[in-house]
C-alpha cells in the first residue's frame, strides 16, 4: 500500500491527465520490476519493464518524460544473474538514478 501511495504521489502534480496516467504506469512498472528477492525473477520483470517503458515513451507529448522513459528502458532489461556482486550493485545504482529521473519528469 505504501508503494501505491508513493507511485500516485509522484504523479499527482502532473497537470495533464494523460501525463499523470503514463507516469503512474511507468513508476508502477519500475517499482514492480524491483520487487522480490529471486534474482532470475527480478531480471525477467526488468525486461518486461523495459518493453513497457519504451511503449509509454511513445505515448506522451512531454519530451522530458519521453526522454526519461527511453533512458530507463535502455538499461532496465540488461541485467544478468551472471554478474558479480559489485557489477550488480552498480546496475542497481544506475536503475535508481533512472527511476529518479522518471519520477522527477512526472512531478
pLDDT tens digits for range 34-57: 555 566 666 677 778 888 889 999
CA distance 67 to 90: 22
74-104 pLDDT, tens digit per residue, is 877 776 667 777 777 777 788 788 888 888 9
Instruction: Give residue for cell 504521489.
Output: 9
Q: Quick check: 31 pLDDT over 50?
A: yes
Q: What is the number of domains present in the chain?
A: 1
- Least Cα distance to 74 among 103, 54, 52 occurs for 54
pTM of the predicted structure, to 2 decimals = 0.66
16-30 pLDDT, tens digit per residue, is 778 888 888 888 777
Amino acid at each position: 500500500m505504501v508503494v501505491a501511495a508513493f507511485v500516485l504521489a509522484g504523479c499527482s502534480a502532473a497537470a495533464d491527465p494523460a501525463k499523470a496516467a503514463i507516469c503512474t504506469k511507468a513508476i508502477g512498472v519500475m517499482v514492480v520490476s524491483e520487487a522480490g528477492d529471486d534474482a532470475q525473477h527480478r531480471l525477467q520483470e526488468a525486461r518486461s519493464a523495459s518493453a513497457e517503458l519504451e511503449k509509454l515513451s511513445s505515448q506522451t507529448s512531454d519530451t522530458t518524460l519521453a526522454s526519461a522513459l527511453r533512458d530507463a528502458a535502455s538499461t532496465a532489461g540488461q541485467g544478468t544473474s551472471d554478474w558479480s556482486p559489485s557489477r550488480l550493485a552498480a546496475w542497481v545504482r544506475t536503475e535508481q538514478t533512472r527511476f529518479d529521473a522518471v519520477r522527477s519528469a512526472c512531478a
